[in-house]
């Protein structure tokens, strides 16, 4: 085994990046690039050379393997950067058959091209039959079909839901139990599909649905139980509008819609709606650095929040991040512990959707808090857990990936820049929320003094990124 110093590793990384650029300009394949890296840098073995030829940090390999497992309906494995490092650098360390198959799939390579054939000689025949590794070239192992499919959403169904509500109100202009049921179904549809649509598209539909219910309520001809149900539905639709406005970067609009949601929560006696609206107000205040005000909003929400998931959500989403940003470490730890206890006590904990609270979101808020408190190792672990619980390319995945990049930035600026570029490559501008845009901007500022690989590319990509809403009120469409 060749012993390589840390300084030599840095030289190797820089040299490999230069070789990759040269090979790309010459139109070389990934395999040819990997061979060129191995030839010029004898310390580099084939497995590492292939990754360097792709231009991937180890974190990206781990992410892609996690995606591969999820695409097969499996939980991601416990692969870590240190494990991958040992496989790349130590001649006595080899991935087992399962990890070898995963590496070959995400790298689009055969075991022989990665130098992994010696480790699993007894499995070669089985691999050749089951995964097509006997084919030639680096494209022998196709990525899962999901990678090449167009992401499908229910966007075509959004207008139909609003139309159904309209038709029900034509039959019962003052509202009825059937209208109430349909309104609640529409809210559930919008909430569960929240992340499947560009925010401006969903905003238009939710706004239209709220307008229909508002017209019915304005007539004042319904019985009080129906009126109370309509007010509650209007409140939840206003809560969605507030969240959507926030994700479009319209903070004043978000505050207005959320205030409406809170008012209708009070009027209809829906404590969870009231609590959620105040929690969202805390989120808006926190985004502009008003952490003391955010705490006031969070505490007001907690005063109304029912036990279980709603209180857990208010603690971890609304209260925890600002306590961490203010450096109130003990209170932050106690808040996180309370959120965990509330979830464990709720038999329906981890509910999905915008008004639910899943494990990915919980881990995301914990990661942000740990980063603010200067606990890089814990922030990294929880950010990775959040990423692994999300489908790649979704808003939740992007948020976790960018928090992880923020943690990496001080010590691993090139990895942080590459991770941010990966997010921008996978998430269209129209689906990039204001929160992710803010994290990207903050990351670019932190990385600006460095000359790490990818930093200049990130700066340029951000410079040309279309605004979520332009100066003329138009939404990004790509």
The continuous run of DSSP H or E covering 462 comes out as helix 455-463
The pLDDT of residue 147 is above 70: no
Distance (Å, whole) CA 366 – CA 381: 10
Q: Is the pLDDT of residue 110 over 60?
A: yes
- pTM of the predicted structure, to 2 decimals: 0.69
Q: Report pLDDT for 224.
A: 84
Q: Per mean pLDDT, which range of 74-83, 94-103, 215-224 is the poorest?
A: 74-83
Q: Indicate whether 122 pLDDT > 90.
A: no
- Residue 93 confidence (pLDDT) above 80: no
* Max Cα–Cα distance, the chain, nearest Å: 84
pLDDT for residue 126 is more than 50: no
Distance (Å, rounded) from C-alpha 357 to C-alpha 316?
10
pLDDT tier for residue 134 given thresholds of 50, 70 and 90: very low
User: What is the per-residue pLDDT for 154?
Assistant: 53
pLDDT at 155: 59
What tens digit of pLDDT does each residue of 250-306 get? 999 999 999 999 999 999 999 999 999 999 999 999 999 999 999 999 999 999 999
| pLDDT tens digits, one per residue of 449-477 | 999 999 999 999 999 999 888 887 887 76
Statement: residue 420 has pLDDT above 90: yes
3-state SS string for 266-299:
HHHCCHHHHHHHHHHHHHHHHHCCCHHHHHHHHH
For 153-169, the pLDDT digits (tens) are 455 678 899 999 999 99
pLDDT at site 140: 31
**What is the C-alpha separation between 12 and 19, in angstroms, rounded?**
10
Instruction: Give the confidence band of 96 by pLDDT, cuts at 50, 70, 90.
Output: confident
Contact residues for 66 (Cβ-Cβ < 8 A; gap 6+): 76, 77, 79, 387, 388
In this structure, are residues 314 and 279 in contact, taking their beta carbons and an 8 Å threshold? yes
Among candidates 245, 198, 249, which has minimal Cα distance to 440? 249
Query: Greater confidence, 126 or 211?
Result: 211
With beta carbons less than 8 A apart as the criterion, state whether 76 and 65 touch. Answer: yes
* 398, pLDDT greater than 90: yes
Please determine, for residue 128, whether its predicted confidence score (pLDDT) is greater than 80. Answer: no
Res. 176: pLDDT tops 70: yes
Rg (C-alpha) for the chain, rounded Å, is: 25
Q: Which two tokens stand for residue 281?
A: 């107000």
Q: How far is the C-alpha of 106 from the C-alpha of 79, rounded, in Å?
A: 14
- Please provide the average confidence, as pLDDT, over all residues in the chain: 86
Residue 475 bridge partners (DSSP): 469
Residue with the bigger pLDDT between 391 and 133: it is 391
Q: What is the DSSP letter of 197?
A: S
User: Any alpha helices (H) in 72-123, and if so which ranges?
Assistant: 81-89, 97-107, 111-114
Locus of tokens 């999820």: 70
């Amino acid at each position: 085994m060749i012993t390589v110093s840390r300084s030599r590793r840095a030289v190797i990384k820089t040299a490999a990046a230069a070789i990759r650029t040269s090979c790309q300009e010459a139109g070389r394949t990934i395999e040819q690039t990997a061979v060129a890296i191995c030839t010029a840098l004898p310390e580099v073995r084939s497995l590492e050379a292939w990754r360097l030829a792709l231009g991937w940090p180890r974190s990206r390999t781990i992410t892609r393997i996690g995606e591969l497992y999820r695409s097969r309906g499996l939980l991601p494995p416990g692969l870590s950067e240190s494990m991958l490092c040992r496989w790349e650098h130590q001649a006595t360390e080899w991935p087992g058959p399962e990890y070898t198959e995963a590496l070959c799939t995400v790298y689009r390579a055969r075991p022989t091209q990665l130098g992994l054939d010696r480790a699993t000689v007894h499995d070669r025949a089985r691999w050749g039959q089951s995964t097509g590794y006997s084919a030639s070239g680096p494209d022998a192992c196709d990525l899962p079909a999901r990678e090449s499919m167009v992401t499908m959403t229910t966007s075509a169904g959004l207008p139909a839901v609003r139309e159904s509500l309209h038709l029900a109100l034509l039959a019962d202009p003052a509202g009825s139990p059937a209208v109430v049921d349909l309104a609640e179904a529409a809210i559930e549809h919008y909430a569960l599909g929240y992340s499947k649509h560009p925010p401006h598209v969903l905003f238009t539909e939710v706004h239209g649905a709220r307008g229909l219910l508002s017209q019915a309520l304005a007539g004042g001809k319904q019985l009080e139980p129906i009126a109370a149900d309509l007010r509650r539905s209007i409140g939840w639709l206003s809560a969605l509008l507030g969240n959507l406005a926030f994700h479009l970067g319209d903070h004043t609009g978000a505050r207005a819609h959320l205030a409406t949601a809170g008012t209708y929560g009070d009027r209809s006696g829906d404590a969870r709606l009231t609590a959620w609206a105040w929690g969202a107000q805390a989120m808006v205040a926190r985004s502009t650095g008003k952490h003391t005000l955010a705490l006031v909003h969070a505490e007001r929400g907690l005063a109304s929040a029912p036990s279980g998931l709603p209180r857990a959500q208010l603690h971890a989403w609304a209260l925890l991040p600002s306590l961490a940003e203010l450096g109130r470490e003990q209170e932050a730890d106690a808040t996180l512990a309370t959120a965990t206890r509330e979830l464990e006590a709720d038999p329906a904990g981890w509910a999905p959707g915008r008004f639910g609270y899943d494990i990915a979101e919980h881990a995301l808020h914990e990661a942000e808090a740990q980063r603010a408190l200067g606990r890089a190792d814990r922030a990294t672990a929880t950010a990775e857990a959040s990423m692994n619980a999300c489908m790649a390319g979704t808003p939740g995945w992007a948020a976790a990936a960018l928090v992880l990049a923020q943690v990496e930035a001080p010590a691993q600026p090139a990895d942080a820049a590459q991770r941010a570029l990966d997010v921008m490559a996978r998430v269209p501008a129209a689906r990039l929320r204001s929160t992710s845009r803010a994290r990207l901007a903050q990351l670019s500022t932190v990385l600006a003094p460095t000359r790490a690989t990818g930093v200049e590319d990130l700066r340029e990509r951000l410079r040309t990124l279309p605004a979520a809403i332009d100066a003329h009120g138009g939404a990004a469409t790509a």
